[in-house]
Structure 1
Amino acid sequence: MSEPSPAGEWLIFRGAGERHDGIGRLPAPPPWRDFRERDRDAETRRLGVHRSRAAAWRPGAEELEVVNAALYLRRPLLVTGAPGVGKSTLAHAVADELGLGAVLRWPVVSRTTLQDGLYRYDAIARLQDVQIAAHAPGGVGPGDPGSVESIGDYIRLGPLGTALLPSDKPRVLLIDELDKSDIDLPNDLLNVLEEGEFAIPELERVAHRLPDGVARVRAADGTRVDVRDGRVRCAEFPFVVLTSNQERDFPAALMRRCLHLELGRPDRERLAAFVRAHLGEDRAEAAADLVQRFMERSRTEMLAADQLLNAIHLTGQAPGLDRERLADLLVQRLDRPR
């Protein structure tokens, strides 16, 4: 078998149809795709929400004013803009700077309903546990899954429901890509966002039979929390960031309840800060030409900043290659006609 050329040394898969142990040369993954440390919050791996990027995110004057207005007025913030401009990062930057804890993220797809964001009651799991307990040696004992007191074990609050739990400080809730939702979800959100509370009927029905009317349920962040009288009422309205890639319009009723912030394409300074936050000062300086090329292309093409990050990381792993060619292969326009 012939040896690979110097320019091809970075190739792990060679397409030669012969088995080899090249996988042993695979370098460490990018920080945002490192799945080896399972104890880390998965959010720290995602492009755009790495803590260092959130800390390095620098808003413009208008962006700063709108964000603070949303904090003062306790109103949701609708953030629109092209993919990769930092919409979700804004939520993490606010949470990081103000010490508001981990961001509660609710990713929206076409099948997402309001119920997914509020809570889920797993009646089937409870029924199965009752049947298992009934056939266990000795029969049903302490911790009977059929008892009223156990109902909280089968209720899990969603990200929105968790954000509305009473607390001394507001939680930060990111409702990501709302424009991907079913047509009804924006309207379904109106009452909850206006009132800051919601009911859990399964708990309301049995609240009078619970000690002090309190059920202990699981929140979206894995903690156990108390719900009194079957209702969740916020004490401090959460800082809610709804993001949209502008693939659809929203009803006027939702727009009236939100403050709107449109993020434009990142300028060179913000883009360089983005690269430094993820890959360090040295790598950012070495990739100045790729950043400049990205800026030039973004004037006429829809590109995402995380594409640039992928290109810089990979070209750094493969010295001696045609960097611009490889970068162009990875940074492909998102508005390409299909």
Structure 2
Amino acid sequence: MPLAPNQYRFQGDPSQRPDDAHPDSPQEEEPYIADPALVKAVNLSIYLGRPLLLEGEAGCGKTRLASALAYELGLPFYRWDVRSTSKAKDGLYSYDAVLRLHDVQARAVESNLERRPSEPTDYRTWGALGQAFQVEDRPAVVLIDEIDKADLDFPNDLLAVLDEPWAFEIPETGETRAKKIQAKHMPIVLITSNKEKGDLPVPFLRRCIYYYVKFPDDQGRLKEIVDAHYETKAKLARPAKKPGPKLFQAAAERFLALREKGGLFKNPGTSEFLDWLDALQGFGSRPYSASKLKSESTIPYPELLFKLRGDWLKAASS
């Protein structure tokens, strides 16, 4: 049986990163402010060995949590971006039979090929979950991003892998039955979705720990995120001048009012806000006037906040 990762605890504090971090662990600190309830949900997922399903609007920080978790714990991190054509097998492995056939033919005229057509494992490539199963000394963090993009059978197909005995077979290489691929450690799996959880199959939801990530809808939370953003930039030797309190307050008020007003096809998220704040502070010859930002009807640098034509046209008309 694979070892459970329940000796690990996430604190939302990147300074806790161990000295012996895995080479596949993120190398740069992820500025992430985790709500205490979210920290508890992550640790429940780790303790119980169940995937953590994160839902919430785009830009609320679901994806970045996985990187922040892997960085703090020093664990390897593997990301799987789900597409409409994705199948559950894609996260485990891929097998290139065409390349093997090509090498069989090429071997007749070239004897120094790195790959061996007689060895089918030379044509096997690990997916994110497959990589996680190979880690010998610790669990890996796996992000399955935007699971709702795939068809309805996809989540249930994952259940056979994200549960006991944490193993899968590869018929193409003969790695079946006693030779099947067995996880050394149960991975810590985070799954994101931008839809309501009712859109996902009930058996899959029953298997997951669920948490809805709320957008930080007050100035206090936004300030924490902004402070962490600029502190991390300074640590990574990419310093940027932090906006003064008046400019931050004016920007936060304008940004939150824009979201609260509604009517947008896609609300801007925290990454858009941080880019916008950077531009307000440093893009021009001097920082943008806080009083002007409060009083004027137009929105400066709208290209940083609006990413769909309908929202852009609505902002331009106002």
> What TM-score does the superposition give when structure 1 sets the normalisation length?
0.69
| Correspondent of 2:261 among 275, 297, 300 | 300
Partner SS for 1:67: helix
Superposed CA offset, 1:234-293 (max 9, x none): 132111000011166111100111000101111433423333444457424365022332
Report if aligned partners of 1:57, 1:93 keep a CA contact under 8 Å in 2.
Answer: yes
Gaps of 5+ in 1: 1-40, 45-49, 208-227
Structure 2 matches for 1:17-36, cutoff 5 A?
A: none
Partner SS for 1:306: helix
CA distance in 2, matches of 1:141, 1:95: 40
Residues 1:198 and 2:168 are matched in the alignment: yes
Report if aligned partners of 2:115, 2:122 keep a CA contact under 8 Å in 1.
Answer: no
Residues 1:147 and 2:118 are matched in the alignment: yes
1:204 Cα deviation from its structure 2 partner: 2.0
1:330 Cα deviation from its structure 2 partner: 2.7
| Correspondent of 1:269 among 220, 241, 255 | 220
Q: Percent identity?
A: 35
1:335 Cα deviation from its structure 2 partner: 11
| Correspondent of 1:160 among 114, 129, 153 | 129
CA distance in 1, matches of 2:269, 2:186: 32
Structure 2 matches for 1:159-308, cutoff 5 A?
A: 159-195=128-164, 196-204=166-174, 230-246=179-195, 249-266=199-216, 267-280=218-231, 282-285=241-244, 287-288=247-248, 289-301=250-262, 302-308=267-273
Structure 2 matches for 1:56-205, cutoff 5 A?
A: 56-101=31-76, 103-136=77-110, 140=111, 145-148=116-119, 151-195=120-164, 196-204=166-174
CA distance in 2, matches of 1:296, 1:245: 23
Report if aligned partners of 2:142, 2:189 keep a CA contact under 8 Å in 1.
Answer: yes
Letter of the 1:112 counterpart: S
CA distance in 2, matches of 1:335, 1:251: 33
Residues 1:318 and 2:258 are matched in the alignment: no
CA distance in 1, matches of 2:194, 2:174: 38
CA distance in 1, matches of 2:114, 2:145: 38
Partner SS for 2:68: helix
Partner SS for 2:211: strand
CA distance in 1, matches of 2:157, 2:145: 16
CA distance in 2, matches of 1:118, 1:332: 36
Go from structure 1 to structure 2 and tell me whether the alpha carbon gap of 1:143 and 1:177 turns closer, same or farther (over 3 Å shift): closer
Report if aligned partners of 2:41, 2:211 keep a CA contact under 8 Å in 1.
Answer: yes
Superposed CA offset, 1:19-63 (max 9, x none): xxxxxxxxxxxxxxxxxxxxxx9x98xxxxx943x3x42322221
Partner SS for 2:254: helix
Q: Counterpart of 1:331?
A: 305
1:171 Cα deviation from its structure 2 partner: 0.3
Go from structure 1 to structure 2 and tell me whether the alpha carbon gap of 1:298 and 1:51 turns closer, same or farther (over 3 Å shift): farther
1:202 Cα deviation from its structure 2 partner: 2.0
Letter of the 1:173 counterpart: V
1:336 Cα deviation from its structure 2 partner: 5.8
Report if aligned partners of 2:146, 2:193 keep a CA contact under 8 Å in 1.
Answer: yes
Report if aligned partners of 2:55, 2:196 keep a CA contact under 8 Å in 1.
Answer: no
Report if aligned partners of 2:167, 2:181 keep a CA contact under 8 Å in 1.
Answer: yes
1:173 Cα deviation from its structure 2 partner: 0.3
Go from structure 1 to structure 2 and tell me whether the alpha carbon gap of 1:284 and 1:92 turns closer, same or farther (over 3 Å shift): farther
Report if aligned partners of 2:58, 2:194 keep a CA contact under 8 Å in 1.
Answer: yes
Go from structure 1 to structure 2 and tell me whether the alpha carbon gap of 1:273 and 1:335 turns closer, same or farther (over 3 Å shift): farther
Report if aligned partners of 1:130, 1:144 keep a CA contact under 8 Å in 2.
Answer: no
1:320 Cα deviation from its structure 2 partner: 5.3
> What TM-score does the superposition give when structure 2 sets the normalisation length?
0.73
1:328 Cα deviation from its structure 2 partner: 3.8
Go from structure 1 to structure 2 and tell me whether the alpha carbon gap of 1:146 and 1:236 turns closer, same or farther (over 3 Å shift): closer
Partner SS for 1:299: helix
Partner SS for 1:68: helix
